Amino acid sequence: MTKHPNTVQKIFHKASSSRKLYVFLFCLALAVFFWLLNALSKNFTTDAVFNVSYVNQPSNKVVLNELPDQLKIKIKGLGFDLMAYKLRLKGSTINVDLSDLNQFNNQLQSSTLASSSFYSYISNQLGEQIEIKEIYPDSIHFLFDEKKEKKVKIIPITQLNFEKQFQLYGEMLVKPAVTKISGPASIIDTITAVYTEELVLNDLSETKTETVPFLQEYAFKKLNFNPSKIIIHIPVEKFTESSVMVNVTYVNVPDSIEIKAIPNEVELKFLIPLSKMASLASAKFIAEIDYTEINDNFSHKLKIVLAEYPEYIQSLTLNPGKVEYILKKQK
| pLDDT band with cut points at 50, 70 and 90 for residue 281 | confident
Q: What would the pLDDT profile of 111-161 be if each residue is shown by its tens digit?
A: 787 877 777 777 777 766 777 778 888 888 888 888 899 999 999 999 999
The rounded radius of gyration (Å) of the Cα atoms in the chain is 41
> Is the confidence at residue 300, as pLDDT, over 70?
yes
Q: How far apart are CA 54 and CA 229, in angstroms?
A: 25
Q: For residue 29, give the 3-state DSSP assignment.
A: helix
How confident is the prediction for the chain on average, in pLDDT? 82
Kindly list the domain boundaries of the chain, sorted by start residue. Answer: 43-137, 147-234, 239-329
- pLDDT of 271 reads 92
Q: Which run of H or of E encompasses 238?
A: strand 236-251
239-329: CATH architecture: Beta Complex (2.170)
CATH class of 147-234: mainly beta
Q: How far apart are CA 302 and CA 299, in angstroms?
A: 8
Q: How far apart are CA 137 and CA 249, in angstroms?
A: 82
Compute how many other C-beta atoms are within 10 angstroms of the C-beta atom of residue 256. Answer: 9
DSSP label of 99? G
Is 239-329 in the same CATH topology as 147-234?
A: yes
Q: What would the pLDDT profile of 35-89 be if each residue is shown by its tens digit?
A: 655 555 566 677 777 788 888 877 788 888 888 888 888 877 666 666 666 655 4
- pLDDT of 139 reads 84
More confident call, 288 vs 108: 288
More confident call, 34 vs 269: 269
- pLDDT of 100 reads 67
- pLDDT of 129 reads 72
Ramachandran bin of 247, using left for φ above 0, alpha for ψ from -120 to 50, beta for the remaining angles = beta
Burial class (CB in 10 A: 0-12, 13-18, 19+), 135: buried
Q: How far apart are CA 243 and CA 92, in angstroms?
A: 70
Q: What would the pLDDT profile of 172-227 be if each residue is shown by its tens digit?
A: 999 999 999 999 998 999 999 999 999 999 999 999 999 999 999 998 888 999 99
Give percent of the chain above pLDDT 90: 38
The mean per-residue pLDDT over the stretch 22-38 comes to: 63
